[in-house]
Structures are given as structure tokens and as C-alpha cells.
A and B are shown apart, each in its own frame.
Chain A
Amino acid sequence: MKKGIQIIKWVVPILLGLVIPLLLQGQPYILHLFVLTFLFAFFAQSWNVLMGFAGQASLGQALFFGMGSYTVGLLVLHLPHYFKGSNLIWLGIIAGGAIALLVGLAIGVVTFRIRGPYFALATIASLEIVRLVFLYAEDFTQGGYGIVIPHPPEFVTPFFVIDFIEKIPHYYIAFFMLLLSCIVVHMLSKSKYGLLFLSIKEDEDAASSLGVNSFKIRLLAMAISGFIAGIAGAYYAIYVGFIDPNFEPGGVLTLFTSVDAIIMCLIGGIGTVLGPFIGAAIKIMFGEYLRISFGWRSGVDLVIFGSLLIVFYLFIPKGIWGSISLIREKRIFRLKK
């Protein structure tokens, strides 16, 4: 009986996620919002691993995101024969994740002694250095021109045709990415590494005096986080189709993108598996709702959203999912008493 419920709990949400696009077939706009929500939830998950589980307050998450998208962009730019307008570009996602992982390791090595708020600022500095160098190196990255990434062509199989101009394939890709990241992060948090992460989050020095190799654990956290964010960035580049390193809202290598991820995690609940998804849903879906309701009176929607963030923190500082699990823990505690 118990097992049956368990299976239902697994299968129902996945089925629901699979069915939603069929219900919304005539609504590409809503599907587009879903894709963005899943994509940014996935990206926010990377910050969640780093800060929520391992306690490393990085403000340079956009660096990993940007490295991922620039991997795809540079592949298209320098190897157009293979990657431009071809389905090989999907390999770029893995490459983007790998490059971002390496960058994460490099930053982890460089900043191995830097802690807390200084670490946050060091990550901003690395982000800005890379952004400025990418802007300057026009021969390599086209600088402020940015890079246009054409949509991958139709993918023809004997049974059906996947057209990547439509939203539905993108919906499923983003959905499975998010699902996978949730499962991986959940398993990570239950494993031995979850405890090790927690130990360096609580007190890095104390942990290392008890024999935890805090340097290695930190590198591991940076690598996982970089990999996830790199994949998110690479997929973003393919989906939106244009990237540039300018300092503008939504720029892939800017502080705005880092802060987006942080806000999503904090709304949803930091250090929880589902927090990023809830936060992304609120930030993107609710933000879009405000935008189309008040957008023509430019600014009103953002004022409302900003005030909500403040009110939100004052009442539920642990985030939505964080508070829910807090309440549940309290209830269990009371029952046991």
C-alpha cells in the first residue's frame, strides 16, 4: 500500500508535467513562460547547491552561465561548418557545462583562502574581468556585436519530426533538465557529500580541524554548481538565440543574471530542493503577470515586485518551501512530544 502511494507520488507530477503542453497547445506564449521558468529554476538550482548546501555565497553565478552560453556562441562563431544551423549544437550544451565546470574549479582554486563576503566580492570581480575581456577581445568573441545563434533545424526521425521553432520540444527539454537537477540535488543532499557540504557551510575551519578536506569539498561544490549553471547558460543561448557581454539587463555575463538566480532561490527557500523552482515560477510567471498588467505604465510593475520582495522577507524570511518544511518539522516535533 505504502509503496503504491509512493509510486503515485512519483508518477503523477511527472505525468502532469508531460501533459501540460498538450493542454496548452494553442498558447505558445504560456509555453514560452514555462520554458523560461524551468530554465531559470535550473539555473537557480546551481546557486542553491553552492550557497544553500555548501554555504559559499557566490555573486558571480552569471560567470558560469555566461561561460556556458559563450561556449555555444563561440562554437557557432568559429566552427560554423559543424555547428551553425545544425543539430550538433546540442553537443554544445554538454561542452558548455564542461567549460563552466573547469571555470568553477579554477575560481575555487584561486579563491581557496577567501571566505564569506570576500568570496562573494571575489566572484563579482572574476565575473567583471571575464566580461570586460570578452568585450575587448573582438577577434575572438566579436565583443559588443554579440553572437547570433540560429535555431537548430528540424530533427527528423522515422516516426516524427521535432521542430525546434515550436515551443513544445523546448518545454520538454527544459522540463527534463529541471527534473533531473531536482533528483540529483535531492540525492546529493541525502548522501555523504550533503553532510560534508553542510559541515563547511556551518564552519569551514572547524570542519577542516575535524579532518574534512574543506578545500576538496569546496571545489566539488563549485564544480557541480558550475556544471549546472553552464548547461543552463548554453541552453539559454540556443533558446533565445543571441548573447552579448554588454552590461545591460538580462546580459548573460552581468550581475543582473546572478542576482536573478539569488532572488529566485531566496523566494523559494534556500537549501531546499524545490525552492529554486517555486522562486523561478513566482519571479517569472508573477513578474510577467505584473508586467502585462501594468507594463504600459512603465515602472509600476517593478515597484510592486520590489515591495513584494521586501514584504516577503519580513514575513517569510526562510522562503516559501523553507517555511513549509519548517512548519512540518515543528508539527512532527510536537507529535513526538
Chain B
Amino acid sequence: MELAIKLIIFLVLVVTGYFAGSAAEKKHYRSIREREKALLNLPAVTLKTPPYANEEIAESGLVCGSAVISTDYFKFFLASLRKFFGGRLRTYESLLDRARREALLRMKAAAGDADIIVNVRLETAPIGGKENAKGGVMSVEVLAYGTALKLKHR
């Protein structure tokens, strides 16, 4: 029966999404936390004016990092239920959190041995699969960019 087949496919997707998705997310978070610890000494700030005098700065350059992260089917289904009732979409929160931290980390990594990154900006854009047509976005792109400064003496 058609209905049974559709239901089975749906259940398989949801279950796979849940297990595989949570595993992938945990791994990703672990990697994020490790790299954040390693890059802790490179500050990224949103200040426009570098907190150093012009003479102290050796070089500067634009650095950016971006990441596109997608949710799993379980999260997508849970979010559609959630949107029906209203309230906080917890599943998308973690998606965005991961994407942003990943983008920032990649930006910091691109800065090499800079001393500080100033005027950091973050841009978020939803990138859709075919679900986008119906309004259900499953992935998001974050771009982080700033000016990396290297000081003369350190």
C-alpha cells in the first residue's frame, strides 16, 4: 500500500537523521571546541579602529572564512512540528551556532600569525535544497570576514 511505503521511507529518514545527525553534530562540536581552545589567543573583535597606533602595525589584510552547514532530516521534521506550535526552534539554534563558530574558526585560521582581527562581520544566508521551494531550508551559509593585523614587535 502506498501509504505504508511512504510511512516507512519517512521513518527510515527520520531515524537515520537522528542517529547519524547527532553523531555528526557531536563530532563537529568537539572539533570546534578543540580549535577554539587552540586559537584562543587570537582575538577577533568588532571594533573598527584598531586598538594600536598606526606605527605599531606591520601588515594588515582581509581574512574571511565561511561554512555551509546542513541539518539532518530529524531536525527538519522536528522544526516543522515546532513551527506549527510556535516557540524556540532549538534544532536550528544548534545549526546556526555550529555554522558561525566554524566560520569564525576558519577566518582565524586564515589569519595565520596575526595578532588581532578587527571589524569582524558575519553574514548569514540560507542555502536551500529543493525544500527551499516549499520554504523549508535545510542548510545555512555563514561568512565571517575581518581585517587581520600583525604588529611590528612581538
* A joins B in a complex: no
Interface residues of B (CB under 8 A from A): none
Residues of A participating in the B interface, judged by any CB pair closer than 8 Å: none
